[in-house]
């Protein structure tokens, strides 16, 4: 298969601002963890696309992809 390949990731679960939602405690930690995992996933995808060696060990989500 030749040509451009695209993937679209949308994070709807953590898109609200913390100060607007008033989330605290365990829920705040969970939102931070989700956002951090998506950031690392984005980095792995960028590295794979550019031919670099991605670091899969940053979080559980990217370790699963390994």
Higher-pLDDT residue of 28, 1: 28
C-alpha distances (whole Å) from 42 to each of 27, 45, 62 are: 23, 5, 10
- pLDDT over threshold 80, residue 65: no
| 61 within 8 A of 40, measured Cβ to Cβ | yes
CA 18 – CA 22 distance, rounded (Å): 6
Helix (H, G, I), strand (E, B) or coil at 28: helix
CA 66 – CA 12 distance, rounded (Å): 25
pLDDT per residue as tens digits for the range 5-41 = 777 777 666 556 777 878 889 988 888 888 888 888 8
Q: pTM of this prediction?
A: 0.66
- The pLDDT score that the predictor gives to residue 35 is 82
């Amino acid at each position: 298969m030749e040509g451009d390949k695209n993937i679209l990731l949308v994070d709807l679960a953590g898109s609200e601002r913390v100060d607007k939602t008033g989330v605290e405690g365990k829920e705040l930690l969970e939102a931070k963890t989700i956002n951090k995992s998506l950031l690392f996933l984005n980095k792995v995808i960028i590295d794979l696309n550019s031919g670099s060696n991605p670091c899969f060990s940053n979080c559980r989500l990217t370790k699963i992809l390994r």
